[in-house]
């Protein structure tokens, strides 16, 4: 009997480029409760990578010397859709309004506060490097 090669396929992690590794580690810890699993040097002395975790989800933060910051058009969900590539990481939450109040109290850069979209509640913030982060309550 042939085994299904896609059996057990599930999300494992996402990777994000950031401008300041320590500041990004602090942002994800303070805003979203991530903890550092490990920090490693990227081969050929090009930068460092932090693996941070919240529950079962692992996030890689890449910090490479000389990278360009997030362009303005990539900092908003509507204009970001006009370019190809990864758009954002979305996190499922049980109480999106409470989460957004928590993030706003901490000074989060809110892109879209809580809005209903096709029967789902969502909200977007930017991390400290300008990357879009989405929250979804279904």
- 95-112: pLDDT as tens digits: 999 999 999 999 999 999
Domains and CATH numbers, the chain: 1-65 (3.10.180.10), 72-138 (3.10.180.10)
Q: Strand order in 47-54's β-sheet?
A: 13-17, 57-64, 47-54, 35-42
Q: What is the residue-averaged pLDDT of the chain?
A: 94
User: pLDDT at residue 9 above 90?
Assistant: no
User: pLDDT at residue 1 above 80?
Assistant: no
pLDDT at position 59: 97
């Amino acid at each position: 009997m042939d085994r299904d090669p896609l059996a057990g396929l599930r999300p494992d992690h996402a990777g994000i480029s950031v401008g300041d590794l320590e500041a990004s580690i602090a942002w994800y810890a303070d805003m979203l409760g991530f903890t550092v699993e490990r920090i490693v040097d990227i081969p050929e002395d090009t930068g460092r990578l932090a693996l941070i975790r919240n529950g079962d989800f692992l996030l890689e933060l890449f910090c490479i010397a000389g990278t360009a910051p997030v362009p303005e058009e990539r900092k908003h969900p509507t204009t970001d859709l006009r370019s190809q590539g990864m758009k954002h990481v979305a996190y499922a939450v049980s109480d999106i309004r409470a989460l957004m109040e928590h993030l706003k109290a901490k000074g989060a850069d809110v892109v879209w506060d809580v809005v209903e979209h096709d029967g789902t509640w969502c909200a977007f913030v930017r991390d400290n490097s300008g990357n879009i982060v989405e929250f979804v309550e279904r």
